[in-house]
Amino acid sequence: MSLIEPLQNASEDALAEGVQASSRRGFVRANLLGNKQAIFGLAVLAVFLFLAVFGPWIEPYDPLAKTGPVYAPPSSAHWLGTDDFGADMLSLVIAGSRVSLGVGFFAAVVAMVIGGSVGVLSGFFGGKTDTFLMRITDYVLVIPDIPLMIIAAALFGRSLTNIIIIIGIIYWTSTARLIRAQVIAVRERVYVKRARALGAGNSRIVFKHVLPQVAPLLIANTVLMVAVAIFAETYITFLGLGDPSTISWGRLIENAFNGEATINNAWWAIAPPGICVTIVILALTMVGQSVEDGLNPRLKVGHLSVRRFRLRPLNGKLNSG
């Protein structure tokens, strides 16, 4: 290294005032907090998360106890009425949020881990690894969800853990394809080539250069996946394949159906859990999409597409020779 003498005069342009620093947190602020859709989604999620976590302290009654007449309509005592057993619907919906959100979250994490790993390995190594993993992905992708869930529930039993794993195993494929495409793009970036030319090994390149670059996309995808998983849990349970010992929104709907709530005109037994599922899925989709939009500037409108510049009279203070 002593071969090289220090250079003078070379740093003139380096000394210059640099480009203005914009904070790294700017991304979150600009894309989530600056976006009404995302704020709304986050607020809704916060409410449901609060209900799920602090449920036992909020629930007005014990959700498993008979606290009123069968199918009592909403009243001041039972805001959302009671079900076919006489249990308080509001308490049941709050209790159900815990399982529904929990299953949704953990199933999405399972999908993220499997899909993320397959996507990264497939995209990064390419070649035979890619062909092999993508073949498997394709097979899983074409298996119809519901029959598989029915078979799996029948085979492995109807526990909550099994439901989480089944949902995770069915829904990782889209994540894998998405991440693979992104990894292929990152792999071809010059800075990854440069790291390789430096002598960096695969694990370093994957963990230091590739993963951080795809992480935001993976997170956005996971948020969207939570919505899919909550929906899946709801219909699995509705089909009678859920864990019989837990209360979830899907089970409430199933219960109401089995208890002939529709014949009894007890809309309050079936609508609230359904509405909750819809709202949570909507909120998750809003948040997930806002993150995705922020990540993909190409989704924003091209600026030449609208040619409506404004004219402005020149105010006198400009000295325009």
Partner 1 sequence: MIAVEDLHVWFDLPDGKELHAVQGVSFQLQEGSRLGLVGESGCGKTTTILAMMGLLPPTASVSGKVLLDGVDILERGEESVSPHRWNDIAMVFQGAMNAFNPVRTVGEQIAEPMKLHKSASGREADARVRELLELVGIPGDRASRYPHEFSGGMRQRAAIAMALACAPKVLLADEPTTALDVMVQAQILELLVDLTGTLGKELGMSMVLVTHDLPVVAQVCDLAAVMYAGEIVEMSGISAVYHQPMHPYTRMLFAATPDLFGDDEVLSIPGTPPRLDREITGCAFRPRCDSALGVCETVRPARRLGSPGHEARCHLNDPAIAQAGS
Partner 2 sequence: MSSERPGDRTGRVLSAAHSGGPLLEVEDLVTRYQISRGLWGTVARQPKLAVSAVSGVSFEVREGEMMALVGESGCGKTSTAQTVVRMVQHESGSIRFRGTEIGTLSPKELRAFRREIQIIYQDPYESLDPRFTVRDTIEEPLRVHKTVSGAAERERVVRDAMERAGLTPPELFLDRYPHELSGGQRQRTAIAAALALGPKLLIADEPVSMLDVSVRAGILQLLDGLRKGGMGVLMITHDLSTAAHFADRIAVMYLGRIVEEGPARDVVRNPQHPYTKALVSVVPKRDPDDRTVPQILTGETPNPVHLPSGCRFHPRCPVAEDRCTTIDPQLRDVAGAERGHRAACVLV
Q: Given the rule CB under 8 A, which residues bind partner 2?
A: 1, 3-7, 9-16, 18-22, 24, 189-191, 193-201, 204, 208-209, 212-213
Among 144, 190, 312, 316, binds partner 1 (CB under 8 A): 312
Nearest to 42 by CA among 29, 55, 58: 29
82 φ/ψ angles, rounded to the nearest 5 degrees = -130, 170
Nearer to partner 1, 127 or 313 (CB): 313
CB 284 within 8 A of CB 107: no
Nearer to partner 1, 245 or 315 (CB): 315
- Would you count residue 128 as binding partner 1 (CB under 8 A)? no
User: Under rule CB under 8 A, which residues in 27-46 are in contact with partner 1?
Assistant: 30
Of partner 1, partner 2, none, which one does residue 147 interact with (CB within 5 to 8 Å by kind)? none
- CA angle (71, 74, 76) in 5-degree steps: 130
70 φ/ψ angles, rounded to the nearest 5 degrees = -70, 135
Strand partners, 82: 88
User: What are the helix (H) ranges across 65-88?
Assistant: none
- Running DSSP on this structure, what letter comes out for residue 190? H
Least Å distance, CB 298 to partner 1, is 15
By CB under 8 A, the count of residues binding partner 1 is 23
- Would you count residue 310 as binding partner 1 (CB under 8 A)? yes
DSSP track, 107-135: HHHHHHHHHHHHHHHHHHH-HHHHHHHHH
Of partner 2, partner 1, none, which one does residue 300 interact with (CB within 5 to 8 Å by kind)? none
Nearer to partner 1, 1 or 19 (CB): 19
Q: Which residues have CB under 8 Å from 287's CB, separation 6+?
A: 32, 38, 41, 42, 45, 223
Least Å distance, CB 182 to partner 2, is 14
Task: Identify which range of 122-130, 157-165, 198-206, 312-320 contacts partner 1 by CB under 8 A.
Answer: 312-320
Whole-angstrom distance, CA of residue 120 vs CA of residue 19: 34
Least Å distance, CB 190 to partner 1, is 17
**Binding residues for partner 1 (CB under 8 A):** 12-13, 15-18, 20, 30, 303-304, 306-314, 318-321
